[in-house]
Amino acid sequence: MKRLLLLALSLFCCGIFSAQVISSKKWSDLFSYNNILALKEDNGKIMAATENGIFYYDLGSGAITKLSKANGLHEVKITAFDYNPTTKIGLVGYKNGSMDVITPQGVTYIVDIPIATSFNGDKGINHISISGDKAVVSVDYGVSIFDLKKKEFSQSAFFINGTVFEAANEATIKDNKVYVATANGLKTHEINVTFPVYTTWTTQNAGDFIHADSEDTVVFATATTVFYGSGTSFAQLPQSFAAIADVVVNGNNIIVTDKDRTYVFSTTGAVLNSATFGEDCNTANFIAGQLFGGTKLSGIKDTANKTYKPDGPYNNRAYKIFLQDEKIWVSTGGRVDQYNGPLANPLRLGFYYFTGMEWVYPSYFKNNTTLSMNVLDVLPNPSDLNEVFLANYVHGPNSGFYKMKFDGTSKDFSLQKLYPTTTNNVYINRPIGLAYDSNNNLFATLSVVEKQPSGITSGIAFYDKAADNFIIRNVNVGFSTQKPVIYEGQIWTPIPRTNEFMVYDYKNTPLNFGDDTAYAITENNGLSGNSFGTVSVAIDKNDDAWIGTLSGIRVLADAPTAVKNNPQLQAIVIEQNGIPEELFRDTEILQIEVDEGNQKWISVDGGGAFYLSPNGEKTIKHFTRENSPLPNNSITDIKVDRKTGKVYFVTLDGIVVYQGDVGEVTSDFGNVLVYPNPVIYSNFKGVVTIRGLAEKTNIRIVDAAGNLVHQAVARGGYYEWDLNNQRGKRVASGVYFVLMTNENGSDKATAKIAVVN
């Protein structure tokens, strides 16, 4: 007994929680809200928990609002949720074991379980059930009681059978008694001083139980049978079930979600209602006299098959995106093992498309049960955005390039396979990435291209519009490739499995291979000696090529010209505590993006996203999943909307968007905006941002009497003022005038900033 009490105390006595804010108005999400995990009621509203967020549907007005890591929550991958409409408190459980307490006053982050050392198994939250001001939390070690008022754990019971932990699948509280569904029976115990002692728990009913819920009635279930009762005696529902997904008690109703049908029973066991929703459901609830299903793929559905959800992509899985004219195309594939094999993608998701008004998912992929899909890249034709090309990388005959046409009337796509149509070896001709040049010519890169008479190489493919197919050329640089970047008639291609980088000069004659030249950049040209390959590339506004490798970053100045004449790459050297150090040394660079101000967004594997000055020597911002709404720290793609300045961060767990400060930048001023304004010290202690500036802006800030308090030269379309004067001290309260001119004085702008200390 003493050992178990100490174990429980070591896990939860710290009561650690945090109200850390990691979101702001500058963030938004592009999460999917299709996969409903829980449905709760709040006085005329339906609350739906999904994988990456919660949304509220108002039955009266039809309004939908959402809550995610972009505007209040602290995590993604929700696994459990419950809500008390009387106290207005909700509790969210996550896959990593953390929780969020949602109250009208805000959201509080609870991290006791993830940081605990007494249990080393899966700490994901299996289930949450609220009763009054208490919640019982089910985890693989057993159950814990959480005090919703104090926002701390009060007691925990570790179900240790010998040396093996027994998982709590679901649990519920009624009349101060906890009922726990486990694989070894329905376990019960009063919430009292012996609650943490496993040997004092009672097995009320034998069986392999998965589900539990209660209000005035206690309900628990196996995969095929449901029991209900007062808490001391139970009866079995007479209905037979195929595969129970969930049981819910709501007032005088027991809602059972079965594999093919959902049922509503009274608390005396009588069948009151039933319905099908045309697809699999995770859960259901009877709210305001209506039955609603929480589907796996379509959000909330009513019995008329009408759906309710925020607009978003079909699924959270994302790999690469393409932006144009407020439209978005998202591929869902991936690669593993030093970019050798396709990432497991059992859902065969294909790609999603945002029309500028709504998200569309091709029915071809939705209904696909046979075609193996691992789409690494999707790219529309710039002259016809309804024509889309895909690179599908799998080990098998479905590997190849595809073309799809979008029908704006039916809002669907038709599909046509292009290259290769047949192959004797399912492991060759692996399509990787697509890119258009400035003349609307479409190119692609391939890995493991078969070379005659024998051997394998990398490959460049050109789309022949007349033949409606791709023509491939072997290139004797490496044998694997990444998505290319085309700049000034050259195809810049990372080579991930050998320590090389390829630049392919097609002399602006795509169909004439005779005059083409392939340049190989190797260690002799300055690539890091301990790198296993190159992964990403971007060309900045100075014509410098920024090359991301598996072991750091290299820069080639005046790249289009230098690559032809024994190019020499350079590392970026920064000072750390007075000691010179190579930037991102021994770090895998996943993606590089250049904004309109020539600043660089760089994602590193496991390290989030860095926003760097044009020369890379200063870190302006660093976003991680710990300090921002990023779903994880491995960002597979970054894209900047040149007009709006929005930055899209793509991960395998979803997409989030950051409103950057640099939009379209020219030699003249745009729409100059100052924020925050006014600056009230008690509410805000950061810097003031001025955006919409010219590419180079001379700034003078004066007080109301015309005295100069600050001056600077801003580059890149924005400037941040720390509210300090020329002597480095914070300015006094008052109104300050910002006087701005562009580089040659041909354009001017002014702004006012109110400061309240």
Tokens of 705: 């009497």
Of 301, 286, 443, nearest to 379 by C-alpha is 443
Question: Taking residues 209-218, what's their average pLDDT?
Answer: 97
| pLDDT of 10 strictly over 80 | no
Of 78, 85, 115, 117, nearest to 99 by C-alpha is 78
Q: Using one digit for the tens of pLDDT, what is the confidence trace for 357-368?
A: 999 999 999 888
CB under 8 Å to 93, separation ≥6 — which residues?
78, 79, 80, 81, 99, 124, 125, 126, 127, 128, 137
| pLDDT of 11 strictly over 60 | no
Higher-confidence position of 8 and 472? 472
Confidence band (pLDDT; 50, 70, 90) for 3? Answer: very low
Q: Using one digit for the tens of pLDDT, what is the confidence trace for 38-71?
A: 999 998 899 999 999 999 999 999 999 999 999 9
3-state helix, strand, coil in the chain (%, to 5): 5, 50, 50
User: Residue 23: its pLDDT value, please?
Assistant: 65
Question: Taking residues 302-317, what's their average pLDDT?
Answer: 96
Using CA atoms, how far apart are residues 572 and 163, in angstroms rounded to an integer? 53
Residue entry with tokens 């045309």? 278
**How many Cα atoms occupy the beta-carbon half-sphere of 310 within 13 Å?**
23
Write out the H or E segment, with its range, that includes residue 204: strand 202-205
Question: Taking residues 294-315, what's their average pLDDT?
Answer: 97
What kind of architecture, by CATH, is found in domain 673-756?
Answer: Sandwich (2.60)
Question: Taking residues 649-654, what's their average pLDDT?
Answer: 98
Using CA atoms, how far apart are residues 287 and 59, in angstroms rounded to an integer? 10
| Helix (H/G/I), strand (E/B), else coil: 114 | helix
Using CA atoms, how far apart are residues 282 and 269, in angstroms rounded to an integer? 22
59: left (phi over 0), alpha (psi -120 to 50) or beta: alpha
- Which CATH number fits the domain 320-659, given the four candidates 3.30.1300.10, 3.40.50.720, 2.40.37.10, 2.130.10.10? 2.130.10.10
| pLDDT of 593 strictly over 50 | yes
User: Residue 1: its pLDDT value, please?
Assistant: 31
Give percent above pLDDT 70 in the chain.
96
Beta-ladder partners of 435: 443
Residue entry with tokens 């000691």? 579
User: Residue 170: its pLDDT value, please?
Assistant: 98
User: Residue 577: its pLDDT value, please?
Assistant: 82
Using CA atoms, how far apart are residues 236 and 233, in angstroms rounded to an integer? 11
Of 510, 434, 421, nearest to 465 by C-alpha is 510
Using CA atoms, how far apart are residues 641 and 324, in angstroms rounded to an integer? 8
Residue entry with tokens 């992509």? 313
CB under 8 Å to 27, separation ≥6 — which residues?
70, 71, 628, 629, 656, 657, 658, 659
Confidence band (pLDDT; 50, 70, 90) for 6? Answer: very low
Residue entry with tokens 């073309």? 403
Of 90, 92, 81, 108, nearest to 17 by C-alpha is 108
| pLDDT of 687 strictly over 90 | no
Please, is 218 exposed, middle or buried when counting C-beta atoms within 10 Å of its C-beta (0-12, 13-18, 19+)? buried
Tokens of 104: 């009208």
Confidence band (pLDDT; 50, 70, 90) for 521? Answer: very high
User: Residue 686: its pLDDT value, please?
Assistant: 82
CB under 8 Å to 214, separation ≥6 — which residues?
129, 131, 172, 173, 174, 179, 231, 249
Using CA atoms, how far apart are residues 429 and 469, in angstroms rounded to an integer? 14
CB under 8 Å to 578, separation ≥6 — which residues?
none
Please, is 346 exposed, middle or buried when counting C-beta atoms within 10 Å of its C-beta (0-12, 13-18, 19+)? exposed
Q: How is the chain split into domains, by residue range?
A: 1-15+32-157, 320-659, 673-756
Write out the H or E segment, with its range, that includes residue 386: strand 384-392
Handedness of CA 423, 429, 431, 435 (dihedral sign): negative
* 320-659 matches 673-756 in fold: no
Question: Taking residues 553-560, what's their average pLDDT?
Answer: 97
User: Residue 684: its pLDDT value, please?
Assistant: 80
Confidence band (pLDDT; 50, 70, 90) for 12? Answer: very low
Query: What is the maximal distance between C-alpha atoms in the chain?
Result: 87
Using CA atoms, how far apart are residues 164 and 109, in angstroms rounded to an integer? 30
Please, is 535 exposed, middle or buried when counting C-beta atoms within 10 Å of its C-beta (0-12, 13-18, 19+)? buried
Backbone angles phi, psi at 560, to 5 degrees: -60, -35
Write out the H or E segment, with its range, that includes residue 10: helix 2-12
Query: What single-letter amino acid sits at 80?
Result: A
Cis amide linkage into residue 676, ω under 30° from 0? yes
Q: Using one digit for the tens of pLDDT, what is the confidence trace for 69-112?
A: 999 999 999 999 999 999 999 999 999 999 999 999 999 999 99
Higher-confidence position of 654 and 420? 654
The end-to-end CA distance of the chain, in Å, is 58
Using CA atoms, how far apart are residues 290 and 300, in angstroms rounded to an integer? 12
User: Residue 21: its pLDDT value, please?
Assistant: 59
User: Residue 66: its pLDDT value, please?
Assistant: 95
**In Å, how far are 52, 141, 457 from 653, measured between CA atoms?**
8, 26, 33
Question: Taking residues 126-155, what's their average pLDDT?
Answer: 97
What's the mean per-residue pLDDT of the chain? Answer: 92
Question: In whole angstroms, what separates CA 184 from the centre of its chain?
Answer: 37
Yes or no: domain 1-15+32-157 corresponds to CATH 3.40.50.300? no
User: Residue 424: its pLDDT value, please?
Assistant: 62
**In Å, how far are 37, 226, 262 from 241, measured between CA atoms?**
20, 9, 10
| pLDDT of 385 strictly over 90 | yes
User: Residue 371: its pLDDT value, please?
Assistant: 81
Rg (C-alpha) for the chain, rounded Å, is 29
Q: Do β-strands 359-360 and 351-354 pair in parallel, antiparallel, or remain unpaired?
A: antiparallel
Using CA atoms, how far apart are residues 482 and 393, in angstroms rounded to an integer? 12
Using CA atoms, how far apart are residues 73 and 245, in angstroms rounded to an integer? 26
Give percent above pLDDT 90 in the chain.
80
